Amino acid sequence: MLDGTSRFTCKGEKIYHSFRTSTFTEYTVVPEISVVKIDAAAPMDKIYVISCEVATGYGAAVHSAKVTPGSTCVVFELGRISSAIVMGCKASGASRIIGVDINEGKFPRARALGVTDCLNPSNLKKPIQEVVKEMTGTSVDFAFEAIGLAETMVCGFGSQ
């Protein structure tokens, strides 16, 4: 727990919480800050798989960036966090979503979620930000970087 204590024991031995939540257990105790009330009408058989990347990614697009209808977005990486970013961009009405990933195996699902253009930086002869600017004619309205690399963050800033 946040105060260093634990609520779990096994055969008398203290067990520490996993990531302060231990949500793989049937019952758990979590800090109040880790609890979010969900809509009573939400289908439990679908939402139980939603984890932190959905709130992080979707929230980044919808609440933090406030993506606007008709806008153009670029999303660096097409894994878990960015899949939620893409869903947030699409739900906000973005008309063009450019996805960047070095693993082209991620492209089909990304397209199914709403990515309109997929780029593999390994196949490009120019820096990604230059290619993105050429594709859009100017720049993108919103750039998201979820890889966590300084190099791709610079590409994100450069695409705007």
Q: Would you tell me which residues interact with ligand NAD (CB under 6 A)?
A: 52-53, 56, 76-82, 100-103, 106, 121, 146-149, 152
When the beta carbons of 80 and 133 are compared against ligand NAD, the nearer one is 80
Q: What is the closest distance, in whole angstroms, from the C-beta atom of residue 9 to ligand NAD in the complex?
A: 28
DSSP state letter for 159: T
When the beta carbons of 84 and 94 are compared against ligand NAD, the nearer one is 84
Contact 1, 21 (CB under 8 A): no
For 18, the token pair is 């996993």
Q: What gap in Å lies between CA 38 and CA 8, rounded to an integer?
A: 25
Burial readout 107-129 (b: 16 or more C-beta within 10 A, e: otherwise): beebbebbbbbbbebeeeeeebb
DSSP for 15-48 reads: EPPSTTT-TTSSS----GGG-----TTS-HHHHT
Q: What is the closest distance, in whole angstroms, from the C-beta atom of residue 142 to ligand NAD in the complex?
A: 17
Residue nearest to ligand NAD (CB): 79
When the beta carbons of 67 and 81 are compared against ligand NAD, the nearer one is 81
When the beta carbons of 7 and 116 are compared against ligand NAD, the nearer one is 116
Q: What is the closest distance, in whole angstroms, from the C-beta atom of residue 100 to ligand NAD in the complex?
A: 5
Q: What is the closest distance, in whole angstroms, from the C-beta atom of residue 83 to ligand NAD in the complex?
A: 8
